Structure 1
Amino acid sequence: MAPLPRTLELFYDVLSPYSWLGFEILCRYQNIWNVSLQLRPTLIAGIMKDSGSLSAMRFLTAVNLEHPKMLEKVSRELWMRVWSRDEDITEPQSILAAAEKAGMSTEQARGLLEKIATPQVKNQLKETTDKACKYGAFGLPVTVAHLDGQTHMLFGSDRMELLAHLLGEKWMGPVPPAAAARL
């Protein structure tokens, strides 16, 4: 019998620098550990009631709905803007700039920005946030590992060594050799 697929869900908000750490580490390890990484943009305000990232997180939700392969790059660029370059991520122009820098066309980015107030995007972000809460989230990032028919919720970006143990994999630090070659 084939082993059950190993899936990790990462619930994150780009206003959380700790989410960024977890995001980068899991993106680097997804192929090394041979796991299916599901990125889940989540509104931290829905968990903690105050973050200010609503537009950015709705935009990422729209990206995930229509261009999921761009989600990793656009998420990373929003983090770079807010946490590395101290740039705004709440205004439409700054969101568009992040999307374009991540490789999205101006037309695609504008189309998605127009959709952030639609019921589809709002409801999807709310559903994802509610799902994180049902797993027991009380902050972000939250990684949910689905292994051998069991679900394990880990809070924080400092739980990667524990995640590696759950997966039966080796933890090689935040920049494993395979990822270091790409940097």
Structure 2
Amino acid sequence: MGPLPRTVELFYDVLSPYSWLAFEILCRYKNIWNVNLQLCPSLIAGILKDSGSLTAMRFLTTVKLEHPEMLEKVSRELWMRVWSRDEDITEPQSVLAAAEKAGMSTGQARGLLERVSTPEVKNQLKETTEAACKYGAFGLPITVAHLDDKTHMLFGSDRMELLAHLLGEKWMGPVPPAVNARL
């Protein structure tokens, strides 16, 4: 039996391709390393003051609030649109298309999209972004590991080997053998 689950937070914005790298790697390793991965959609504009992903990040915040089980798939689809297929993610129809491709029903996705401008969603995204800043973020992604009553903030998607060391786990590259066998 491995160690008890440890919490690792990933603060990310889908406009950051480096966030995508960290996201995919941590999603692959969360079970291997027995970590409780907390996905934290953040607004890079709140850190860097310039982004076009406000609707997408508010939508992901709404997904996290109401359908957290879909957050991984919807986040991945938004990254696929913007960074793999050079498609828009700033217009509402684009966000709906990504949500539907990720497995949400049209009605479910529309309902969430209608909530992106509510105070609840705006405040939650602001709070998450402020939490990243309190950890010392100066860009995204940041990964925050909570271990033995200590907090370790790592910036960038190229810090996974260091995260493995902090967790006392083995780094097996960006596609560990267990995942590679499924691909």
Fold match by TM threshold 0.5: yes
Whether contact under 8 Å (1:99, 1:109) holds in the other structure is yes
Asked whether 1:128 is paired with 2:128, we answer yes
Whether contact under 8 Å (1:77, 1:99) holds in the other structure is yes
Q: Shift of the alpha carbon at 1:98?
A: 0.2
SS at match of 2:146: strand
TM-score normalised according to structure 2 size: 0.97
Aligned equivalent of 2:157? 157
What amino acid does structure 1 have at the position aligned with 2:67? Answer: H
Aligned counterparts of 1:118 and 1:14: Cα–Cα separation in 2: 21
Aligned counterparts of 1:101 and 1:13: Cα–Cα separation in 2: 19
Residue by residue over 1:25-48, the C-alpha shift from the partner in whole angstroms, topping out at 9 and shown as x without a partner, is 000000000000000000000000
TM-score normalised according to structure 1 size: 0.97
- Report 1:12-161 matches (<5 A): 12-161=12-161
CA RMSD in angstroms comes to 0.8
Q: Report sequence identity in percent.
A: 87
SS at match of 1:136: coil
Q: Shift of the alpha carbon at 1:131?
A: 0.2
Whether contact under 8 Å (2:12, 2:19) holds in the other structure is yes
What amino acid does structure 2 have at the position aligned with 1:32? Answer: I
Q: Shift of the alpha carbon at 1:182?
A: 2.2
Q: Shift of the alpha carbon at 1:51?
A: 1.0
Residue by residue over 1:41-78, the C-alpha shift from the partner in whole angstroms, topping out at 9 and shown as x without a partner, is 00000000001100000000000000000000000000
SS at match of 1:154: strand
Q: Shift of the alpha carbon at 1:4?
A: 6.3
Q: Shift of the alpha carbon at 1:8?
A: 0.2
What amino acid does structure 2 have at the position aligned with 1:9? Answer: E
- Structure 1 residue runs of 4+, over 6 Å off? none
Asked whether 1:177 is paired with 2:167, we answer no
Q: Shift of the alpha carbon at 1:5?
A: 4.0
Asked whether 1:11 is paired with 2:14, we answer no
**Runs of 5+ consecutive residues of structure 1 not aligned to the other structure:** none
Whether contact under 8 Å (2:160, 2:171) holds in the other structure is yes
**Runs of 5+ consecutive residues of structure 2 not aligned to the other structure:** none
